[in-house]
Amino acid sequence: MFKAKVVIKRKKSILDPQGKAAEHGAVLLGYKNISNVRIDKQVEFLVHVDEQDAAQKEVTEFCTKLLSNPNMENFEINLEKIDEA
């Protein structure tokens, strides 16, 4: 079994208004060293297969078909092998 952590990021070319708002908040708080704030999504779930390749394939499909929109987002998949509880 694998534990999947998927990070979904807006493409760099797309303005992230939430990130901008947070960046502005940093200025209001007096922080002068913070820039390029991007607010991404992280999704975690279990994948009940033994083979890493099979897990990778299924998670990639899940990300492509539902968790992300290829028009505006990219995703990164992190798989961690864990023991069946």
Q: Which residues bind other proteins (CB under 8 A)?
A: 10, 13-15, 17-18, 21, 66-67, 69, 71-72
Residue 51, CB-side half-sphere exposure with 13 Å CA sphere: 4
Closest CB to other proteins among residues 3, 19: 19
Closest CB to other proteins among residues 41, 57: 41
CB of 55 to other proteins, least distance (A): 21
Q: What is the DSSP string of 4-15?
A: EEEEEEE-TTS-
Give the Cα separation of 45 and 32 in Å (integer). 37
Q: Which residues, in sequence order, are CB contacts of 78 under 8 Å at separation 6+?
A: 4, 5, 6, 7
CB of 70 to other proteins, least distance (A): 9
Residue type, position 39, single letter: I
Closest CB to other proteins among residues 11, 81: 11
CB of 69 to other proteins, least distance (A): 5
